[in-house]
Amino acid sequence: MERRITTDDYFRMPETNRPAELVYGVVREPPTPFYSHQKIVGQVFLLLRTHVAERDVGDVCVLPMDVVLDKEAGLIVQPDVMFISRERLSIIQNHVWGAPDMVVEVASPSTEYRDRTVKLSWYRKYGVRECWFVCPREERIEVVDCAAACWESFSGAQLVRSRVLPDLTVKAEECFR
């Protein structure tokens, strides 16, 4: 039987750079991502950070960063990249206390199914507005509108369209350089 802990217990644990999540009171520690995964995470972060900083519309962060979706239920996740709009920056208090406006999950063979099912359902439930699934094998980006439960797919020279960042002018292929 797995030992359950509270959100407060989780935050009393030693600080680490390893990915970890608290899933309804159970600590989940997957292995660190592959280099190719982190390279794409870095590129997506750079593209989004540049766009957001130029327009002063909020902030972008890369994992590992804890996002507390539900303190009482003990639900803490670590998306690969996240954007929080300027109007909502107050949810950042050492950790992110509430849903980011947008999250990005870069697909890994060991996490893709969970990201697309379980984590996406949490993101929808707790108010994330948009979720990107970056698919390295197909060099494709799927953008999910969490409220409308609809998505679009972008690849190659197509401009990725975002409802959260409507002025974004990034070609899908730029995320895979």
pLDDT tens sequence across 15-50: 888 888 999 999 988 888 889 999 999 999 999 999
Does pTM surpass 0.75? yes
Beta bridge partners of 102: 83, 130
Please report whether residue 160 resides in a domain.
Answer: yes
pLDDT tens digits, one per residue of 92-106: 999 999 999 999 999
Please report whether residue 83 resides in a domain.
Answer: yes
Please report whether residue 85 resides in a domain.
Answer: yes
CATH number at residue 126: 3.90.1570.10
Please report whether residue 58 resides in a domain.
Answer: yes
How large a percentage of the chain has pLDDT more than 90? Answer: 77
Contacts of 75 (CB under 8 A, 6+ apart): 22, 23, 24, 68, 69, 122, 126
Please report whether residue 19 resides in a domain.
Answer: no
Whole-angstrom distance, CA of residue 109 vs CA of residue 85: 30
Please report whether residue 93 resides in a domain.
Answer: yes
pLDDT tens digits, one per residue of 59-99: 999 988 999 999 999 999 999 999 999 999 999 999 999 99
Please report whether residue 14 resides in a domain.
Answer: no
The residue segments making up the domain with residue 58 are 33-64+76-176
Q: Where do runs of H (alpha helix) occur along the chain?
A: 7-12, 35-55, 112-114, 120-126
Please report whether residue 2 resides in a domain.
Answer: no
Count how many domains the chain has: 1
The whole-number pLDDT of residue 1 equals 53
Mean pLDDT of 6-23: 89
18: left (phi over 0), alpha (psi -120 to 50) or beta: beta
